[in-house]
Structure 1
């Protein structure tokens, strides 16, 4: 669902304000450190009840205040989120929500910034998160499997760390294996869907790179997970954690059959990351049939004009709600014939700017 209005109070360095957004295109400009990223962060928190820049929301409180308050009007629901140093409270349409997932499941939201280019070059957990983002917003059963797996993994790791009640390891192995195999099946399925979309619809960005994703299980080939856990039990006890499982999965990204991180130039890696981002958005839109919000934080500074235009053409075709930040007051050429809203951020003060 799109966000139509945002009210924020005592959030980071931003002056308390209320903003009305365009349902499609919102352009935000201002100097570095002015508060552009904080504005995007507040929108992200209203959708996910977590931040893309800190693990603890208490650090988003204005340094001179006791807590912050965010309120958002979406297409068909309202969200209020307050956070003090000790307490967090979420309300949807005035009703108190106990689980963060109840909020996170309502509106798919993505963030793309300079760190997004680490999808190809970075560690496996970033690629697992990429696949899981698609699955979380489309396959509701996947969320249940993921929750069961995380609980079983936590319990198993506690036993391994304390080296007590190790006779219970087999019990938690059984509770770990079932959701793990279900997660593996979903991940394989969605990698196949992504590969199809990359081949069919991303030629404009990828050219002849012939990109594909390949699933790599988090335990040795030729060994099932139960056998792996049993064989490596002594190793797990010694290290104090579970060494093998879907939490160790990797998604290899290949270009012409070779590791993309090793054979592509920096410019090619950027275009590949954009293609993967757009492919995930297409997949969630088509499979989930829900509007998506995408936050682009100073991404244009990383891209040449030609790549920018190709990216924006693809994004406009998705019918998503865009928030785009930039240092300069620039309207990309593909937006100039469209309806949009523009905001200027200066020293934490956000003002609606005329489009002309």
Structure 2
């Protein structure tokens, strides 16, 4: 799957631009602030409904405009996707039909993003790693979203009951279904982590990333032997004091160990970036092995990696059957790539 056309309107400093990308590597070169990363950001907004650079869509809309627009055509199969975002409103169309579900865009446009703060997968909080697992599962197991939504709905109901001081009868009614949903989510995450570990091993066999021996393990929040039903009942008193549910998949984590020890405190920032890159490429491999052909978005890998590791990544990319979008200050290292020059919001194809 690849994009055959991309159009941006009032997206940061890009007033209006149309791009006809190549099916392989597309290299966006330009000075800092020229708008090259905004192209990657626009693809992300189209696919995920939000920016990876800002929590506010208002900061993404061009100064003086009220809305932004991103439209793309993808192939295999051919589909036309478009979103229009204002400060409060959101409109989306897929093949001319309106949709309000971001999940439909995410399903139609799977992607893997590698950016400068990807190291947060290693040294960030558990919420970063849970989101990483959940996005991968969303594409690999298409019923996962239904299970997660069911669990999230029951979690909200239990939390509301705790805050309102509702009696045991209400919790007795909620917790069996919540425990079942929690166990389904955990089982799917555990299987996916095993799949991710196998993908990481394949990536390391093809890309010489100088990282310590990394072990991935899913860490549920709760006693696996006791089970969630018993654990939720046992935690009621403490949960009432806190006003929220303290155990469950919403508190789980992906454990990363390097040479047998926790990775974050052991690794340097440079090593953390390499481990994060490994995880992202493993995610890409897992999605491809599941039948998807995601886009790969790489924001400034030239400055994030030393020359040896960038050369390793570049050689691997040239062998992949995928569409990659790379934003960088420098020009590509003399290998096949569609070259775009970005300057002050203007995008011009060079090759």
Where on the TM-score scale, by shorter chain, does this alignment land: which range? over 0.9
Judged with a 3 Å threshold, the aligned counterparts in structure 2 of structure 1 residues 153 and 47 are, in CA distance, closer, same or farther, namely same
2-side partners of 1:341 and 1:264: how far apart?
A: 36
Instruction: Report the Cα offset of residue 207 of structure 1.
Output: 5.1
Equivalent of residue 218 in structure 1, options 211, 216, 221: 221
Paired residue total: 348
Q: Is the contact made by 2:302 and 2:310 (CA closer than 8 Å) also made in structure 1?
A: yes
2-side partners of 1:86 and 1:26: how far apart?
A: 32
Judged with a 3 Å threshold, the aligned counterparts in structure 2 of structure 1 residues 47 and 92 are, in CA distance, closer, same or farther, namely same
For normalisation by structure 2, the TM-score amounts to 0.92
Instruction: Report the Cα offset of residue 348 of structure 1.
Output: 1.9
Give secondary structure in 2 for the equivalent of 1:269.
helix
Partner of 2:5: 5
2-side partners of 1:221 and 1:35: how far apart?
A: 49
Q: Is the contact made by 2:34 and 2:343 (CA closer than 8 Å) also made in structure 1?
A: yes
Partner of 2:277: 274
Gaps of at least 5 residues in structure 2 are none
Judged with a 3 Å threshold, the aligned counterparts in structure 2 of structure 1 residues 229 and 37 are, in CA distance, closer, same or farther, namely same
Q: Is the contact made by 2:83 and 2:91 (CA closer than 8 Å) also made in structure 1?
A: yes
Give secondary structure in 2 for the equivalent of 1:184.
helix
Q: Is the contact made by 2:199 and 2:283 (CA closer than 8 Å) also made in structure 1?
A: no
Give secondary structure in 1 for the equivalent of 2:340.
strand
Q: Give runs of aligned pairs for residues 10-89 of structure 1, distance below 5 A.
A: 10-75=10-75, 76-89=78-91
Moved more, 19-28 or 342-351: 342-351
Q: Is the contact made by 2:47 and 2:102 (CA closer than 8 Å) also made in structure 1?
A: no
Partner of 1:233: 236
Instruction: Report the Cα offset of residue 171 of structure 1.
Output: 2.5
2-side partners of 1:228 and 1:314: how far apart?
A: 46
2-side partners of 1:86 and 1:208: how far apart?
A: 44
Instruction: Report the Cα offset of residue 166 of structure 1.
Output: 6.6
Partner of 1:332: 333
Instruction: After superposition, give the CA deviation of every residue in 1:298-342 in whole Å (9 maximum; x if it has no partner).
Output: 1221111110111222333332211111112x2135xx1x2x222
Equivalent of residue 246 in structure 2, options 243, 246, 264: 243
Judged with a 3 Å threshold, the aligned counterparts in structure 2 of structure 1 residues 200 and 78 are, in CA distance, closer, same or farther, namely closer
Give secondary structure in 2 for the equivalent of 1:212.
strand
Give secondary structure in 2 for the equivalent of 1:136.
helix
1-side partners of 2:239 and 2:211: how far apart?
A: 44
Instruction: After superposition, give the CA deviation of every residue in 1:174-193 in whole Å (9 maximum; x if it has no partner).
Output: 33222211111111112112
For normalisation by structure 1, the TM-score amounts to 0.91
1-side partners of 2:14 and 2:55: how far apart?
A: 20
Check if 1:284 corresponds to 2:277: no
